[in-house]
Amino acid sequence: MGKSMSGRILNLLLWAGVAYFCCMAVAHFFGIKVPILFIYYDTPYYAYQDKIISFAVVAYICVFVSAARSGEVIFALVAIWVTVLGLCAVNLSDALHSVLSGQSTLPYWLQTAAIAVYALCLTIFWRQPRNLSAH
């Protein structure tokens, strides 16, 4: 039996996440500070922290590859939603505001929102096949 259309879309979304996280890992490893690959692209940082982030992102890559290959998506969903919550916490934090010197957090919120939309799409397409099979 072939995959449903929503299953194929979910798989495409997961592989898109793999590609995104690969790009993010490379950007952090080499210090290529561009928005979306670096959420806090214009804040002070230490190069060694970005190397650590690049290695940590490999865990996301592995989780998303595993989800795309096996169809077991729950851990990828947990990871991406915890990321969204974590970014929200950082965006609201005194620590971030102290380095911004009054600069707006809007660019970070927009990037956080983009990741949240991605997470929502994953969640919707993960839920669809289950709802369809119940009918």
End-to-end CA gap in the chain: 17
Give 41: exposed, middle or buried? Use CB within 10 Å, 0-12, 13-18, 19+: middle
For the stretch 10-69, pLDDT in tens is 999 999 999 999 999 999 999 999 999 999 999 988 889 999 999 999 999 999 999 999
- The answer as to whether 36 is a domain residue is yes
133/12: higher pLDDT = 12
* Number of domains observed in the structure of the chain: 1
For 35, the token pair is 């928005």
- The answer as to whether 41 is a domain residue is yes
Q: Rounded CA gap, 99 and 24, in Å? A: 23
pTM (whole model) above 0.95: no
Q: What is the pLDDT of residue 131?
A: 44
- The answer as to whether 135 is a domain residue is no
Structural domain including 72 reads 5-128
Q: What is the pLDDT of residue 134?
A: 42
